[in-house]
């Protein structure tokens, strides 16, 4: 079975002006689709499809001074129609091309499959050649659809989908993962990653913002995002490589972003970790499930009871280690919760509970060992 993945490569800065001009033209097409579609809904109660918008924008790429080709114009129309349907809105936000505006839209240039060619270390697109840092060896891949995108520091990247052969995992172990705030994720094996990426650089960021050093502030934000992404990638890759089944608690960040813990919740990157685990598990043939984590912190992973000594409520958030009053087992709070999540996941597989996507394949039994047993 063939799988796909998205590669992200840095475009050299000398091409920034050409890409910025193309991005402005993409914004013009997007705004035209936005206005035309909204007018059709308001006046004729008609929802224009991506095909309808493509007919209305036909010929734009042949205008004088326009760099983007017709495949890019068609892709913008398709993406606009898809986004409007996804968000269920008659009108979406305008794409602003003025970099001095507070509502400036970062550059984005989509393209279809076969619109991109890789030759001699350069990317050929829309009659232009762009040099990049090829850290993946693009010559070995079949390039598909993708986009050029700009980050907050003005750097441009190539995001392209490629076909890869899946590497089936030969591991036999299973692991449960408990998501948290002080530590973003704790595995049932004891592995953990910190979730305070923003907190470490919060002081430096505050100094830059008070001094109105916008470039420095953007650089710190990018550093925080890169550190978080790098650590999550390493953690998720190691889990997929060493396990045949991965189970994660069903905690949702949307429930906590409305509380005083919003900053720590967003800093932990739960959604990114789940996404990485899901697509990496799919490529490697590893079982990935999200299970109910209710009372996993309070339940003893050894005897299965909820003793009076277990941490409960907000006051229990300060308790990092506790002893079960029923069996005398000493638990690390997060590791105990991860082991309970693992037990629930394995029980779910043993019962043959179908996956959320409707698949009813029953997974094989996986032997599990805990540290110290």
Per-residue HEC secondary structure of 231-259 comes to: HHHHHHHHHHHHCCEEEEECCCHHHCCCC
Question: For strand 122-125 and strand 128-131, is the pairing parallel, antiparallel, or unpaired?
Answer: antiparallel
Mean pLDDT of 260-274: 83
Most confident among 114-118, 195-199, 252-256, 313-317 (mean pLDDT): 114-118
Q: What is the pLDDT of residues 326-361, one digit of tens each?
A: 888 888 888 989 999 999 999 888 887 545 443 333
User: CA 106, CA 120: separation in Å to the nearest integer?
Assistant: 29
User: Sorting pLDDT into bands at 50, 70 and 90, what band is 241?
Assistant: very high
Q: What is the pLDDT of residue 205?
A: 92
User: Sorting pLDDT into bands at 50, 70 and 90, what band is 308?
Assistant: confident
Residue 165: C-alpha distances to residues 108, 141, 277 (Å): 29, 11, 18
Q: What is the pLDDT of residue 255?
A: 73
Q: What is the pLDDT of residue 180?
A: 84
User: CA 113, CA 145: separation in Å to the nearest integer?
Assistant: 4
User: Sorting pLDDT into bands at 50, 70 and 90, what band is 313?
Assistant: low
Indicate whether 373 pLDDT > 70.
Answer: no
**DSSP output for 84-152:** HHHHT-SS-PPPB--TTSTTBPPPEEEE-TTS-EEETTEEEETTEEEEB--SS-GGGS-EEEEEEEE-T
User: Sorting pLDDT into bands at 50, 70 and 90, what band is 369?
Assistant: very low
Diameter over CA atoms, the chain: 80
Topology of the domain covering 174-194+225-350: Nucleotidyltransferase; domain 5 (3.30.420)
Residues of the chain with CATH 3.30.420: 174-194+225-350
Mean pLDDT of 142-154: 92
Q: What is the pLDDT of residue 242?
A: 92
Q: What is the pLDDT of residues 77-97, one digit of tens each?
A: 999 999 999 998 989 999 999
Q: What is the pLDDT of residue 366?
A: 44
Q: What is the pLDDT of residue 267?
A: 79
Q: What is the pLDDT of residue 26?
A: 96
Write down the mean pLDDT value for the chain: 86
Q: What is the pLDDT of residues 17-45, one digit of tens each?
A: 999 999 999 999 999 999 999 999 999 99
CB-CB neighbours of 227 under 10 Å? 14
Q: Are 68 and 111 in contact (CB under 8 A)?
A: no
Indicate whether 74 pLDDT > 60.
Answer: yes
In a 10 Å sphere around its CB, with 0-12 CB exposed, 13-18 middle and 19+ buried, how is residue 310 labelled? buried
- Give the side-chain half-sphere CA count within 13 A for 247: 26
- Least reliable range by pLDDT among 156-160, 220-224, 244-248, 253-257: 253-257
Q: Which of 122, 110, 107 is closest to 9 using CA atoms?
A: 122
pTM: 0.77
Mean pLDDT of 161-190: 86
């Amino acid at each position: 079975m063939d799988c796909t993945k998205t590669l992200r490569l840095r475009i050299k800065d000398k091409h920034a002006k050409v890409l910025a001009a193309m991005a402005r033209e993409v914004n013009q097409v997007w705004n035209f689709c936005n206005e035309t579609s909204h007018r059709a809904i308001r006046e004729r109660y008609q929802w224009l499809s991506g095909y309808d918008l493509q007919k209305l924008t036909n010929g734009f790429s042949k205008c004088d001074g326009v760099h983007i080709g017709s495949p890019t114009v068609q892709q913008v129309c398709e993406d606009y129609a898809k986004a409007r349907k996804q968000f269920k809105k008659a009108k979406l936000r305008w794409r602003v091309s003025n970099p001095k505006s507070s509502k400036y839209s970062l550059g984005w240039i989509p393209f279809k499959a076969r619109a991109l060619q890789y030759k001699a270390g350069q990317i050929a697109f829309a009659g232009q050649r762009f040099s990049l840092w090829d850290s993946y060896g693009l010559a070995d891949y079949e390039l598909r659809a993708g986009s050029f995108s700009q980050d907050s520091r003005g750097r441009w990247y190539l995001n392209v989908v490629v076909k890869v052969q899946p590497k089936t995992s030969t591991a036999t172990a299973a692991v449960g993962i408990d998501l948290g705030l002080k530590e973003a994720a704790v595995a049932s094996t004891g592995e953990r990653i910190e979730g305070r990426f923003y907190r470490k650089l919060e002081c430096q960021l505050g100094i830059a913002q008070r001094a109105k050093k916008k470039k420095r502030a953007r650089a710190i934000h990018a550093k925080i995002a890169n550190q978080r992404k790098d650590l999550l990638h390493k953690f998720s890759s190691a889990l997929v490589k060493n396990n045949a089944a991965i189970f994660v608690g069903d905690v949702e960040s949307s429930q906590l972003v409305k509380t005083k813990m919003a900053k720590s919740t967003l800093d932990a990157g739960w959604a990114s970790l789940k996404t990485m685990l899901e697509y990496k598990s799919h490529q490697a043939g590893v079982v990935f499930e999200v299970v109910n984590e209710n009372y996993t912190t309070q339940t003893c992973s050894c005897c299965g009871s909820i003793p009076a000594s277990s941490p409960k409520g907000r006051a229990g958030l300060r308790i990092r280690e506790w002893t079960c009053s029923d069996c005398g087992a000493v638990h690390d709070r997060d590791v105990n919760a991860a082991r309970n999540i693992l037990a629930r996941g394995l029980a779910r597989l043993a019962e043959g509970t179908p996956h959320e996507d409707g698949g009813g394949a029953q997974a094989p039994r996986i032997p599990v060992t805990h540290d110290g047993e």
